[in-house]
Structure 1
């Protein structure tokens, strides 16, 4: 009952301000103030104010808000623990997918796969090539030339 009275008083004050604004020949601003002033009365008439005031003083509603806050706190806590753990869900999924990586592209046909003997040998890692010594600076170039039959 008090909430409805307050809303009506706010609307009456807003309509008074709109009347003064219209008297000063600022009709566009007066129309806008009138629109804002009618909102509280409309909320009272639709029952939103009564519903909101009933929920504001309801212990069940406050207990629900406490549970909602607790759930949010648990989500935040688990997220923080997951970040401190080192691996995220995305990293674990990438590691699992790397274990089961196909030999060829998923859409490749059987002739494109070929046999393992027909595949060229993999190039050694850059660290392995550098560790071979200073005399093998041109080993990459020689490998390319041999590949082309030169």
Structure 2
């Protein structure tokens, strides 16, 4: 009973604010405020407020929310375990079958590129032998600027 009164009062106050806003020639904003203020009134008229009030004070409803939470925890826990194991049982069996049918030496069918030739210039992708060389450029720039 009190929830309906509060919602109706909120709707009346919102419509009053919308009227003042429309008086100030801000019709679009006034229409939005009126739309928001009619929502609680509509909820009261449809009976949703009664249902929510009955649910909020019902121990059976809270127990139902607890059961739903436990169900969600079970789903999340089993999904986490499934991810750690590498998928469902069906997915693991399919992966085992595909591993058995794979070639014994898959690289053997790749074309041979011949012996590798070494050039005198180092390539851009070759790793550097000394870690100090990596920072020498940075040190030179810092010394140039007096840092």
TM-score normalised according to structure 1 size: 0.62
Tell me the alpha carbon deviations over residues 25-67 of structure 1, each in whole angstroms, 9 at most, x when there is no partner: 1122212211211111111011111111111111111101000
* Residue of structure 2 in register with 1:126 after alignment: 107
Tell me the alpha carbon deviations over residues 8-32 of structure 1, each in whole angstroms, 9 at most, x when there is no partner: 1110110111011011011222122
Structure possessing the higher radius of gyration over alpha carbons: 1
1:51 and 2:51 equivalent? Answer: yes
The alignment yields a C-alpha RMSD, in angstroms, of 3.0
Long gaps (5+) in structure 1: 102-121, 130-136, 138-150
Structure 1 position 124, deviation (Å): 6.2
1:1-150 counterparts in 2 under 5 A? 1-85=1-85, 87-89=86-88, 91-95=91-95, 97-98=97-98, 125-126=106-107
User: 4+ residue runs of structure 1 moved beyond 6 angstroms?
Assistant: none
Long gaps (5+) in structure 2: 115-147
Equivalent pairs, count: 110
